[in-house]
Structure 1
Amino acid sequence: MSCTEEKPLKTELDTLECHFTWDLRKADINVTDLLTRLEYNRDINLGGKAGTACTHNSLAYVRYLLGSYEEAFTNLQRSVELIKECYRNDCDKKLIVTYGNFAWLHYHMKQNADCKSYLEKLRDIKEKNPPDSNSFPHHEVLGEKAWALFKFSRKYYGRAKECFRKALELEPEECEWNAGYAIVLYRTESNCKSPKDSSAIQQLRRAIDTNPDNDELKLLLALKLAAFELFDEAEDLVERAVEMSPESPHVIRYVGKYMRVYGSLDRSTALLKRALEVAPNSAFIHHQLGLCYKMKNVQFKELHESQRFRQLSISHFEKAITLKSGFIFAMAQLALLYGEDGQIKRADDVFQTAFPIAEEKNEGLQTLYLYYGEFQQYRARCLPLAIDYYKKCLKMAPDTRDGNKSAKNLRKIADRCLLKNTSNAEALGILDFIELVKGEKHSTAEGSEYVLESTCNEE
């Protein structure tokens, strides 16, 4: 391909709507984890033929990132087959993304003629099916783009939300886009004061109306409602979901989470173990089981059973981060349990591994600050470091659950010091910091900083 020939070809390729033009950067993606999840979705035929066709499109792009071009072609060919089986004579608009991926893949393989062939197919589709507006591509394209952004990286959740919203402006009754919009709102919403303020609750209700057979949506709504103590409706949704999808691991995992948080710990454990038999490589289910056994470890603290439950919890968290590298919340829980088990260096190593990943992904960093503070206070016995990380946690987001927990821990430290000496400058400095970050006034000088004069006792 000559340079003069390549330039206009590349210009046209850049105008396409497909994975290669959606700014899906390898640096933002955990490719191994994504590949595992997409292959699992493909194997269970998630979303039926249409959903699996989209999965093959995403798999093709991941294969391209890994340099496996032939496997990428196989995925794209399978995507075309499924789309034609699903939509028969009305499939042109559904093929826009797949044909765009084909054109780009041929371009990267220097197969100029084949690349031009797919560009010609796309021109034909565009002529037959012009978009309804110059501002948007077809809603089918926007919807697939939204799902790709959502599945590829948490960093893209904001863009995914906007794509789902635009797709629904063009096709308000499309059940898959309503479901996707509801799920991304569920994942991103925080600090709602009431159910009426919750966009996620409103959209989950809308999504269930358009797709009443989607039991996963019912459970997400149940979890949201239970957070506002609306247990009657929440438990009704859980019962309906279990009745309709008793063997679905996607449903059972959320039932297990609901039961762990709001119901029976034993029932949650039993449900999750059953789901694990169907989906043994689900990092989510291993994580949820780890949390169940961690709670049992606390319940049986004074009994011999505590050690057994702690080891079970550790084993499930270890499995979760093996299946999903960079699983920040599982890493944080695992590190705390290592500390409780007396494995101080191993715990600290996990924390030090997790911090840069959390910073890069912009995910879970506040939780890590809180947990590392607790680890330093109660296991490593280094109070200055504990205070430092509690402060980082509080300053990052004062009104979140983790921020409030850090403030509570800091107040306890200060109160213990003030019991011994009511004018302890270090303790008053901590209280001053809390109230400054919270936006309140305090009688001591604003912004004063102190460091407690305790030593680090490494175990």
Structure 2
Amino acid sequence: MHWKISSTSSQISEQPIHQSNHSAPAPWFIAAMSKNTEEDQLKDRLEQLRCHFTWKLQIQDAEMTDLENRVFDEIEFLDTECSVVMHNLLAYVKHLEGQNKEALQSLKQAEDLIQTEQDDQAHVRRLVTWGNYAWLYYYMGRLEEAQMYLDKVESTCKEFTSPSCYKVDSPHMDCEEGWALLKCGGKNYERAKACFEKALEVDPEHPEFNAGYAIAAYRLDGSKKPSQTLHTLKQALRLNPEDAYIKAFLAMMLPNTGRKAEGEKYVKEVLGSTSSHTCVFRYVAKFYRRKDSLEKALQFLKMTLRATPSSAFLHHQVGLCYKTQMIQIKKANHWRPRGRNKENVHRLVRMAIWEFEKALKLQPTFHQLYIELAEMYAELGHHRVAEDTFEKLLSMGVNDDYLQQQIHFSYGRFQEFHMKSELNAISHYLNVIKIETSSFTSKKSFTALKKLVLKSCQRNGENTLKLRILGLVYKFQGEMEKAMECSLWAQSLATEKELCGR
């Protein structure tokens, strides 16, 4: 039995054709098998390339719109070298969206920009662009053109005296891969950092390698390893003294280590630099928001939004400014605002919700936003919507320990203060503690749990479970005597209950 091959595809369809065992294969069968072999060989060669199609970039469908918006923004505002990187990435995104003609246009723009460059990095960018061309033509079924670009890559690899016909092992190529990964979101940051680290092993003083590594470290480790990240950013700034991005990241980190004046100095340098552009001002705005200079922060955010209206990041930051203004009003009124103040609180909450909803439409996988949104709905008394928002976030399967802690802590606060459910609140606070990662959130959860259990014991009397939970809290906080006291007290209660039961 043989199989019929469709004339419009190289795929074999399951339609049996009966032939004599002694007949020679039909010419169309030989031609089809030959074509299959050629395609397989072509794909084997394509898979040896180093480009966006082989870097295994993790991009979820829900993130595509926000990524595309960010790419367009950076193409508009950044310099030629960065534009080449972004045009290549845009081509890959367009391909994923099924827009191959638009993808070819982006590669053409990248190729045109590379013509003005002549350094080693330009040669590498050319190889990446040609690799993307080859893959794109392959997917479009234009195999001769795919082979043409493979030949271009092979010719350049010979110039580099590469042992491979279709790829070059170069720190510049590692750097190029690192930038692509860095632009595609948090799931790619670990690999991005590793790429820049590999490039630095070859050239520890290269400015671009250090800049990429510092930005990856900031996004990955900024809150977890502040001193180490600060050192990395300072090293990058030494080699890139005019880099506004690095100055902005330093400005945001320094106040957390008690160096507010130094942070302010870098912000002034960013604002006074002619090389600064709209993309950097979003971080200046974030600096002022954290400083509680909210009007100044909103001024920069709204200015930046006019230039880049489809930024989830910016809408999130605007929403956070409104949230902070709301908290300031409540705090000034001893958390019980009335009259006009209460109206202003509700107005600011609704404004924050609008911004958070807008950001989520642009980037549905922006997990932190769900926490902010749930908290704002709770402020308005929309408890069912808030609870649904928390549950939706938990169902998304967040893997990051720090974010998991934030989710459960915030959900615990919601259960304690809005739903008045001590049991559910305790459950979520315990979920934070079960994640054995030391953080500011875990410390807050210990404090909240201890306070809640003590209050419950005073109001409703002690029970074995509460005392054991309290003992656990004391144990984690290193107060071993109090932990032992709670344990003995719990045992005593359990024994008493057992005797009473008899």
TM-score, scaled to structure 1: 0.88
Which residue in 2 is equivalent to 1:58?
A: 89
Give aligned-pair identity as a percent. Answer: 33
| 1:192 to partner: Cα distance | 5.9
Does 2:144 correspond to 1:113? yes
User: Is 2:179 aligned against 1:147?
Assistant: yes
* Equivalent AA in structure 2 for residue 283 of structure 1: A
Counting only pairs closer than 5 Å after superposition, residues 153-168 of structure 1 correspond to structure 2 as: 153-168=185-200
Length, aligned pairs only: 443
Distance 1:131 1:422 in 2: 76
Measure the CA separation in 1 of the matches of 2:402 and 2:121.
41
Instruction: State the distance in 2 between where 1:204 and 1:157 align.
Output: 16
Q: Match of 2:35, as an amino acid?
A: S
CA contact (8 A) 1:57 1:76 kept: yes
Partner residue of 1:7? Answer: 40
Q: Which of 118, 127, 135 is the matching residue for 1:87? A: 118
1: distance between equivalents of 2:400 and 2:37? Answer: 40
Q: Which deviations, in whole Å up to 9, do the C-alpha atoms of 1:20-71 show, x marking residues without a partner?
A: 1112245587222222222222233x2x111111111111111121222111
The amino acid of 1:94's aligned partner reads: R
Instruction: Look up the SS of the partner of 1:87 in the other structure.
Output: coil
Distance 1:168 1:128, change over 3 A: same
Pairwise CA distance, 1:308: 2.0
Q: Find the counterpart in structure 1 of residue 358 from structure 2.
A: 319
Q: How does 1:18-417 map to 2 (within 5 A)?
A: 18-27=51-60, 30-44=63-77, 46=78, 48-87=79-118, 91-130=122-161, 137-189=169-221, 198-244=227-273, 248-301=277-330, 302=337, 303-304=341-342, 305-357=344-396, 359=398, 364-417=403-456
Match of 1:253, as an amino acid?
A: R
Residues 409-436 of structure 1: per-residue CA shift (max 9 Å, x gap) = 1111112023346743232122233345
Q: Would you say the 8 A contact 1:242–1:251 is kept in 2?
A: no
C-alpha distance in 2 between matches for 1:427 and 1:355? 26
For 1:274-296, what per-residue CA distance to the aligned partner results, in whole angstroms no more than 9, with x for missing partners? 33333322221221121111111
In structure 2, list runs of 5 or more residues that go unmatched: 1-33, 331-336, 492-502
What whole-Å deviation, never above 9, does each CA across 1:226-276 have from its counterpart, x for those lacking one?
111012222211221122269733332222222222352332233323333
* Post-superposition CA distance 1:117-159 (Å, at most 9, x none): 1111111111111359999712222111101111113112111
Q: Which amino acid aligns with 2:354?
A: S
Q: Which residue of 2 aligns with 1:453?
A: none
The code of the aligned residue for 1:116 comes to Q
State the shift of 1:354 in Å. 2.0
Deviates more, 1:353-362 or 1:29-38: 353-362
Structure 1 distance, partners of 2:466, 2:67, is: 47
Give the secondary-structure state (helix, strand or coil) at the position aligned to 1:342. Answer: coil
Q: Which amino acid letter does the alignment assign opposite residue 113 of structure 2?
A: L
Aligned to 1:457: none
Counterpart Cα distance in 2 of 1:130 and 1:362: 45
Q: What is the identity, as a one-letter code, of the residue corresponding to 2:129?
A: T
1:167-217 CA distances to partner (integer Å, 9 max, x unpaired)?
223344443332221111111215668x6xx22111211221222222221
Q: Comparing 413-422 with 318-327, which one deviates more in the overlay? A: 413-422
2:465 counterpart of 1:426: yes
| 1:345 partner letter | R
Q: Distance in 1 between matches of 2:276 and 2:192?
A: 30
Q: Distance in 1 between matches of 2:355 and 2:275?
A: 23
Structure 1 residue ranges without an equivalent (≥5): 450-459
User: 1:352: Cα distance to partner?
Assistant: 2.4
Q: CA deviation at 1:330?
A: 1.7
Higher mean C-alpha displacement, 35-44 vs 59-68: 35-44
Whole-Å Cα distance in 2 between the matches of residues 263 and 372 of structure 1? 25
Please give the root-mean-square deviation of Cα atoms over the aligned residues, in Å: 2.9
C-alpha distance after superposition, 1:86-135 (max 9, x if no partner) = 33999433211111111111222222211211111111111111359999
Point out the more displaced range, 156-165 or 365-374: 365-374
Larger radius of gyration: 2
Query: SS of 2:309's equivalent?
Result: coil
Q: Deviations over 1:384-427 (max 9, x none)?
A: 22221111122224421111111111111112023346743232
Match of 1:454 in 2: none
CA shift for structure 1 position 6:
2.4
Distance apart, 1:438 and its partner CA: 5.9
DSSP-derived class of the 2:53 partner: helix
Distance 1:183 1:26, change over 3 A: closer
Find out whether 1:16 has 2:45 as its counterpart: no
- Distance of aligned partners of 1:80 and 1:123 in 2 relative to their CA distance in 1, 3 Å threshold: same
Structure 1 runs of 4+ with >6 Å offset: 132-136, 360-363
Distance of aligned partners of 1:385 and 1:338 in 2 relative to their CA distance in 1, 3 Å threshold: same
Distance in 1 (CA, whole Å) between partners of 2:276 and 2:47 is 44
Q: Distance in 2 between matches of 1:361 and 1:60?
A: 30
